[in-house]
Structure 1
Amino acid sequence: MALDKLLENEAQAEIERIRADAQARAEQIVAGAQERARTLIESRTRQLANQRQAELVRARSAADLDSNAQRLTSSDTLQAQAFKVSEQYLHSSVTSPEYPMILAKLISEGLQVLPNAEAVEAALSEHDAVRQALAQLGRTLDVRVNEQVKTGVRLVGPGGKSSIQNTLTGRLDRVRGELAPQISRLLAE
């Protein structure tokens, strides 16, 4: 029986050794699996964080673009209103007592370019002011009706072959491109 016991003890020891090896191998497999899982989770977490950050950047960019577009639209609208108010003011200036002096200046400038002008054209509602301006300048020119010429005058050369128009609204139109950036800057401030 001693041999049986001895064989049984050896078999039991071998079983324990195999079991211990299996347990160690299982622990290694589990540890490797846990490490791979942890690495995968960390990688996926970084990837999701990067995606979230990229989406935030895209959202901020889209919001900035939208904000800039709205600001530009608002600026354009306000700029158009500013020019409209300016034009209304210029149109209303034709009834001011100073308007004949303004016309005298416009006529004088026109005569520098077209000194042999024989007629002045203006809207009918501005004829009295044109006559006063001509009197201030000591000039006698034929005054004609032209309803297309408002807030200023159009001087006509001999035979109607040449002319020059000098109006307040025309001046505003000529400087519109130069004033637009300044108005935009003022609106932005």
Structure 2
Amino acid sequence: MSLAEILESEVAGEIAAIESQAREKAASVLAQAEERAAALVESRSRLLASEKTAALTRARSAANLDTNAQQLNAANTLQSRAFVEAEAQLKVIPQHPEYLGILSKLLQEAHAALPTADVIEANPAEVNAVRQAAQSLGIQTEIRPNDSVQTGVRLVGAGGKTSIQNTLLGRLQAGRETLSAQVSRLLNDPAQ
């Protein structure tokens, strides 16, 4: 073998070794790149899944808030309508025959609270009924019409310094908070 052939053989061996090392290095770099790419894809997938879960949670929360707001609004509307209807029903009670008995009880309670009243005030449409109730209770007090008094009586003490009003509409307003809670419970749990 000649020197040129030996050199050529050695160069070919070195070239083969360099190519082999290059292939190994390329394979290693490629494997690392694929590993990083897979990790990046997995990380992005987890991030997207997390963002999707968070977005769904926010959407559900917003939907729940909206639903609760609509239910509360509906309940408030129903409550308001219930009180408007109750008030309307109370305003026509003076037209019923049993109202004289109710009025007598209202007058009796008011008179018990303010027995020294100088004047009994009543709605002009109810003055005659109040006279009958006062007479049946033996109350000898001046009776005056007052447009602001409805569905009951207002007793005024000496000099107008004290007064007590006992009306059905006043009782409805006084009990509104308690009644609102009861109406709310009924609206939330109609089985009660």
| TM more than 0.5 | yes
Amino acid at match of 2:9: N
Separation in structure 2 between the aligned mates of residue 65 and residue 172 of structure 1, nearest angstrom: 32
Separation in structure 2 between the aligned mates of residue 4 and residue 154 of structure 1, nearest angstrom: 134
Q: Which residue of 1 aligns with 2:158?
A: 158
Separation in structure 2 between the aligned mates of residue 168 and residue 10 of structure 1, nearest angstrom: 119
Instruction: Mark the runs of 5 or more structure 2 residues left unpaired by the alignment.
Output: none
TM-score, structure 1 as length reference:
0.93
**Is 2:186 aligned against 1:181?**
no
Aligned residue pairs: how many? 189
Q: Which residue of 2 aligns with 1:148?
A: 148
- Compute the RMSD of aligned alpha carbons: 1.5
Separation in structure 2 between the aligned mates of residue 22 and residue 41 of structure 1, nearest angstrom: 28
Amino acid at match of 2:44: R
SS of the aligned residue for 1:155 comes to: strand
Distance verdict in 2 for CA 1:32–1:159, change over 3 Å = closer
Amino acid at match of 1:125: A
TM-score, structure 2 as length reference:
0.92
% identical equivalent positions: 49
Separation in structure 1 between the aligned mates of residue 82 and residue 170 of structure 2, nearest angstrom: 16
How big is each residue's C-alpha offset from its partner over 1:59-104, in whole Å with a ceiling of 9 and x where there is no partner? 1111111111111111111111111111111101111111011111
Distance verdict in 2 for CA 1:90–1:8, change over 3 Å = same
Q: Which residue of 1 aligns with 2:33?
A: 33
Q: Which residue of 2 aligns with 1:75?
A: 75
Separation in structure 2 between the aligned mates of residue 116 and residue 26 of structure 1, nearest angstrom: 111
Post-superposition shift, 1:152? 0.4
**Is 2:114 aligned against 1:114?**
yes
Distance verdict in 2 for CA 1:161–1:19, change over 3 Å = closer
Q: Which residue of 2 aligns with 1:127?
A: 127
SS of the aligned residue for 1:153 comes to: strand
Post-superposition shift, 1:9? 2.5
Distance verdict in 2 for CA 1:124–1:7, change over 3 Å = same
